[in-house]
Structure 1
Amino acid sequence: MTQPPKQRVEARRNGRSFRSAINACMMSALLGSTVLAFCSPASAQQTVLPDNSQLRGPIQENAPPPAQNNRNTRPTDSQTTQDQTSSPTNNFGIPSRPYEPVSPGALPADDDSSNLGRLGVPANDGSPPSGPSDNSGGLNPPPSVEETVVPVPVERVPTPAPRPGVTDAATADADTNADRDPATLYETGAIEQSQEGNPPERRTDKDNMPVSAIERRTPRLDPEPFAPLGIRAGTVTLRPSISQGLRATTNADNSSDGKSAVLSETRLRARATTDWSRHSAWMDFDGTYDKTISGEEYSAPNIGLRAGFQLDLGARTTVTGEAGYRYRQEDPSAPTTIQGTSNRPGVQELDGSLGVRHEFGKFFGDLKGKVNRTTYGNAEIGNTTISQKDRDNTFASIALRGGFEMSPAIKPFAEVEIGKLIYDEKTDFSGYRRSGLRTALRGGVEIDFGEKMSGEFALGYLRQGIDDDRLQAVEGLSADAAIKWSPQRGTDVDIGLLTRVEGATTPGESGSVYYEGTVGIKRQVRANLDLNAKLIASLRDNKDDTGLDKGFGAEIGATYWFNRFVGLDVSARHQLVRSDVDSRNTDETSIYVGVTLQR
């Protein structure tokens, strides 16, 4: 029969001799051989307790002794017999070091001197060994259940305190100890937690913290916080506005003998634009109505409507078109006005144009056709009504322009125009045939510096022939311009030049050439404060030997916006005309205060 391996017993630290340890090992081996000789295999597989109860498997050695408040109190004989019988496998391997509490002095010092035999081995007198037991097994694992023997109890060496992080053997045998009587389990108090080896649970930082966006959208300030928002319908945006105010003037009808008055002035404006990706269209409406509140009786409507479009047919071909309508009252200081009338006859003007432009490399060509229709209302002298149908006329012309691209911003050109002025009546009331052929030759330059400056300027010569040989042709210098200039951001300057031919109603007179130049300045001082000024100069070259009629006008105003929709308008103007004919001299000064509503 194979004997179990001999156990190594660690010498106690109390200084006893090594010979005592050798004697203990020899006695244990001799006693174990004797017991194995008389034990049957069945008894090794199953241990029967005194109360005829059986245990399944070996009893773990580390089960604590019965709970006692006093460690020096000895158990009863029944308890000693039960402990010795139920612990057959707790003496193999190298015993562990004695248990040492974390806090010194928590348990009284062990003193087993009274329980030792002659050879230094604890006497087997039924007293329990001191200190907690351990079944770690040392270097040699415990034998299986079938090979379990009941060896002679040996010295119980106290085990050291478990290292932090290592699972205690008692925890591993919790399921086995759960079948035993809770009253027989060893009760232990709370053990102080190791701050270094087993630190207390702490709150960990979140690992899914929000991260700011890589690209942040910074809000941009509105450059025009008081500009109208408009009314959008599909791809068309309409921006209407209406102004209502009072105008105090020194010359209500702007005549040579006009009187002062206080007028109610109403002005309605609207602009519609499109945002098409390729083509474009626009429309402007401007209507003003003045009505006397006090002073000289006066009523004068003035309405203007214009619309245009541009079609891009390919990369180098463009088609443009414009149409307009205007209703006004005839100027009492104009030479064409019938003298002595008690009213101001209405004048209606309707015009339209269509042009096509094509570029040939650095060169370009522009062909444009134009039609103008002018009609005059009846004049009243006292109770007599005088018809002016003999003044109604239609003018149609065609103009051809060609030029080259000196640079993308400057394009010089030359233009020739041929047209025909046709009166509805072949002869007027005086018997003169005033229809005739019109020719013009101009040269100029087109400017396109983007938002800085754009437009065109042209100078030339204009001649309006008359079919009646008794009347001489009306001719003279031609000057036309339309330029938009922005010297700095927030400042806009509009420059315009106009040349037109005026007919005559007086027998034997051919007519005149009228020139007008305007300069308008608008300055945005603040986001809600606009300043504006306008200068007007006019010159009429009369062909009836009456000299020149010179006119001048100036206007200054300001608009303060309370918000996007409501603004306060204040303006003042002065205009005058000087002529060798007394009936053509005028002088007028006025002040206006009103409110503007816009959308």
Structure 2
Amino acid sequence: MANLLTHSSKPRAKASYRFKASSNLCVIAILLGSTVSMVCGPALAQQTVLPDNSQLRGSIQGNTLQTQTTRPADSRAATTDSGIPSRAYEPVSPGALPAEDDSSNLGLLGVPQNDGSPPSGPADDSGGLNPPPSPEDQMTPVPTASVPIPEPRLGAPRPTAAAGDENNTDRDPENPYDTGAIEQSQEANPAENRAEKDNMPVSAIERRIPRPDPEPFAPLGIRAGTVTLRPSLSQGLRATTNADNSSDGKSAILSETRLRARATTDWSRHSAWLDFDGTYDKTLSGEEYSAPNIGLRAGFQLDLGARTTVKGEAGYRYRQEDPSAPTTLQGTSNRPGVQELDGTLGLRHEFGKFFGDVKGKVNRTTYGNAEFGNIAVSQKDRDNTFASIALRGGFEMSPAIKPFVEVEFGKLIYDEKVDFSGYRRSGVRSGLRGGVEIDFGEKMSGEFALGYLRQGIDDDRLQAVEGLSADAAIKWSPQRGTDVDIGLLTRVEGATAPGESGSVYYEGTVGIKRQVRANLDFNAKLIASLRDNKDDTGLDKGFGAEIGATYWFNRFVGLDVSARHQLVRSDVESRNTDETSVYVGVTLQR
């Protein structure tokens, strides 16, 4: 029984197993069929070729944005089959449209089939990104121009054909990606030009035009802060007919060395300056002669206000006494040295059209020993100090012309109250002058004064030294490149001989400098002198002329050549001199 039951259950179990396998196969087949219809159906529909041989969808590498923006209105419902379906249109008024019956279009599992026919319901006129043109725009022809599209770069997406471009005959049928020429409106969409820069350079309001240097061979100077120093050194040879410029002088060839330096300031308000001029002559052949001549002078100007000015000067000079001067001891074997030290300080104030000026002056003069062979004779009795004060007042006739009147009082004091001859030579000096100040800018500037000067002597046995006074210092430039310096000088000279009072000495100079070229200068100088002797020896007349030229190779090196002649004529034989010389040298400047 048990065996029977066991054998009878085996066929039933096999039948049940076969039934389950068959049902599983049916379910799998149904699922595969529905999956194929859902996946393949829309894909095949999107690849469907339209009657005009144009594809609904381009390749994956096409320009998706351009394909979407240029699709025609007829294909606006074709893209809704993929992805989430859009909501069906439902009118506000029920019954406006007949009820849709898609029962005949239902496929497997109730999914509507896509047979290529347009969907039912109202059309979507939104047009996507680009709405369709209106009928008026379609009827109006727009002038177009063909603009070639440049070949796309490697890796860049190629443009796809715009929908509705069926009549474009420039398209290559073998290359579906070649869109040919693009028709565009030159008025509505002109060709793009190169954009202009917004930050273009703007030319200056005032253009800087380089100007040539007016003095390309002038010294540059050495600058230290606000002070500029301009040094120069000259070295040359002088051939002269009278080495010591005496009445019995002999010819010689001299080595002449000259060192000059000028320092100036460029302060905004005040000013100061310093000048040095030193010359040394030494005989190379001929009459033995050696003579140093050194001059140092400094000055300043302080502007205390708009109308108040303070000026000061100081100077030192060392020279050898002129052998033709009446105060020189005759028969000496040397030329005694003379040292001069002076200083001035003045205050000037302007009020309205008038001005006042007060100036103090001090001079100190000392003389070296006179040698007669091995005997040295002291000249201390000639050492003296002179101090004076001058008052000047004037008015402004015009900004360039200012007449003035000046009064001077001073005292000449000798170190020895009584000299070796037993005379008291100290005395009071007084002077009265009238003149004019000139200021025409660069054209002419300076002053000129005429008056009377008197030097009294304490000793009643000696008469006073007095005479006409003439002083001037004028700078005149008649034309650019030409400078004229005019100077007049009046001074009182003492005497050493017993019974002699002294003399009044006048000197006038005219110096002319002409710049012929930037590197070539001509200069000339005229000197005239007159000595009025109060010892009944008459007048001593002197004259001198010098002409020269300087050629500059550059700013630092120049060649100097000059020639001069000077003479003195007097009733006293020992005062007559005559000298002619020629100089050639080189000047170095900085």
Partner of 1:188: 175
Letter in 1 for 2:574: S
CA separation in 1, counterparts of 2:424 and 2:159?
Answer: 134
| 1:214 matches 2:201 | no
CA separation in 2, counterparts of 1:541 and 1:513?
Answer: 5
CA separation in 2, counterparts of 1:224 and 1:138?
Answer: 90
| 1:570 matches 2:561 | yes
CA separation in 2, counterparts of 1:50 and 1:515?
Answer: 141
C-alpha distance 557-196 of structure 1, shift in aligned 2 (>3 A): farther
The answer (yes or no) to whether the contact 1:60–1:135 under 8 Å persists in 2 is no
Partner of 1:358: 349
Secondary structure at the counterpart of residue 342 of structure 1:
coil
The answer (yes or no) to whether the contact 1:63–1:170 under 8 Å persists in 2 is no
C-alpha distance 136-522 of structure 1, shift in aligned 2 (>3 A): same
| 1:367 matches 2:358 | yes
Secondary structure at the counterpart of residue 430 of structure 2:
strand
Task: Give, in angstroms, the shift of residue 491 of structure 1.
Answer: 0.9
Partner residue of 2:533 out of 527, 538, 542 = 542
Letter in 2 for 1:561: W
Identity %: 78
CA separation in 2, counterparts of 1:60 and 1:137?
Answer: 21
Task: Give, in angstroms, the shift of residue 189 of structure 1.
Answer: 5.5
Partner residue of 2:423 out of 425, 432, 436 = 432
Partner of 1:280: 271
CA separation in 2, counterparts of 1:486 and 1:448?
Answer: 12
1:58-137 equivalences in 2 (<5 Å): 58-59=42-43, 63=47, 136-137=72-73
Partner of 2:490: 499
The answer (yes or no) to whether the contact 2:260–2:276 under 8 Å persists in 1 is yes
Partner residue of 1:258 out of 230, 249, 253 = 249
Secondary structure at the counterpart of residue 429 of structure 1:
coil
CA separation in 1, counterparts of 2:504 and 2:114?
Answer: 143
C-alpha distance 189-379 of structure 1, shift in aligned 2 (>3 A): same
- After TM superposition, the structure 1 stretch with the greater mean CA deviation from structure 2, 504-513 or 136-145, is 136-145
Residues 390-449 of structure 1: CA deviation (Å, up to 9, x unaligned): 100000001000001111111100000000000011111111111111000000001111
The answer (yes or no) to whether the contact 1:397–1:420 under 8 Å persists in 2 is yes
The answer (yes or no) to whether the contact 2:161–2:179 under 8 Å persists in 1 is no
C-alpha distance 144-346 of structure 1, shift in aligned 2 (>3 A): closer
Partner of 2:436: 445
Task: Give, in angstroms, the shift of residue 315 of structure 1.
Answer: 1.2
| 1:489 matches 2:480 | yes
Partner of 2:390: 399
Partner of 1:270: 261
| 1:470 matches 2:461 | yes
Task: Give, in angstroms, the shift of residue 218 of structure 1.
Answer: 2.1
CA separation in 1, counterparts of 2:300 and 2:71?
Answer: 104
- How many residues align? The count is 472
Partner residue of 1:379 out of 357, 361, 370 = 370
Letter in 2 for 1:549: D
Residues 515-574 of structure 1: CA deviation (Å, up to 9, x unaligned): 000011111111111111111000000111111111000111111111111111111111
CA separation in 1, counterparts of 2:411 and 2:79?
Answer: 132
Secondary structure at the counterpart of residue 310 of structure 2:
strand
Task: Give, in angstroms, the shift of residue 381 of structure 1.
Answer: 1.6
CA separation in 1, counterparts of 2:484 and 2:300?
Answer: 24
Task: Give, in angstroms, the shift of residue 359 of structure 1.
Answer: 1.0
The answer (yes or no) to whether the contact 2:41–2:114 under 8 Å persists in 1 is no
Task: Give, in angstroms, the shift of residue 62 of structure 1.
Answer: 6.0
Secondary structure at the counterpart of residue 138 of structure 1:
helix
Return 5+ residue gaps in structure 2 as ranges: 1-30, 56-69, 89-110, 119-143, 150-156, 164-172
Partner of 1:231: 222
CA separation in 1, counterparts of 2:399 and 2:518?
Answer: 34
Residues 15-61 of structure 1: CA deviation (Å, up to 9, x unaligned): xxxxxxxxxxxxxxxxxxxxxxxxxxxxxxxx987983642994485
CA separation in 2, counterparts of 1:246 and 1:57?
Answer: 122
C-alpha distance 590-169 of structure 1, shift in aligned 2 (>3 A): closer
Task: Give, in angstroms, the shift of residue 498 of structure 1.
Answer: 0.2
- After TM superposition, the structure 1 stretch with the greater mean CA deviation from structure 2, 186-195 or 525-534, is 186-195
Partner of 1:523: 514
C-alpha distance 472-190 of structure 1, shift in aligned 2 (>3 A): same
The answer (yes or no) to whether the contact 1:421–1:437 under 8 Å persists in 2 is yes
Secondary structure at the counterpart of residue 418 of structure 2:
coil
CA separation in 2, counterparts of 1:576 and 1:386?
Answer: 29
CA separation in 1, counterparts of 2:550 and 2:158?
Answer: 91
1:236-251 equivalences in 2 (<5 Å): 236-251=227-242
The answer (yes or no) to whether the contact 2:160–2:177 under 8 Å persists in 1 is no
TM-score, reference length from structure 2? 0.74
CA separation in 1, counterparts of 2:587 and 2:158?
Answer: 92
Task: Give, in angstroms, the shift of residue 455 of structure 1.
Answer: 0.6
CA separation in 2, counterparts of 1:328 and 1:258?
Answer: 18
CA separation in 1, counterparts of 2:114 and 2:71?
Answer: 15
Partner of 2:104: none
CA separation in 2, counterparts of 1:402 and 1:243?
Answer: 43
The answer (yes or no) to whether the contact 2:161–2:177 under 8 Å persists in 1 is no
Moved over 6 A (4+): 47-51, 97-100, 163-173
Task: Give, in angstroms, the shift of residue 149 of structure 1.
Answer: 4.8
Letter in 2 for 1:321: G
The answer (yes or no) to whether the contact 1:437–1:464 under 8 Å persists in 2 is yes
Return 5+ residue gaps in structure 1 as ranges: 1-46, 66-89, 101-133, 156-162, 174-185
C-alpha distance 267-49 of structure 1, shift in aligned 2 (>3 A): farther
Partner of 1:55: 39
C-alpha distance 550-48 of structure 1, shift in aligned 2 (>3 A): farther
Residues 177-235 of structure 1: CA deviation (Å, up to 9, x unaligned): xxxxxxxxx97366373175499x99947646853532432222211111111111111
Partner of 1:298: 289
Partner residue of 1:138 out of 70, 74, 91 = 74
Letter in 2 for 1:324: G
The answer (yes or no) to whether the contact 1:135–1:169 under 8 Å persists in 2 is no
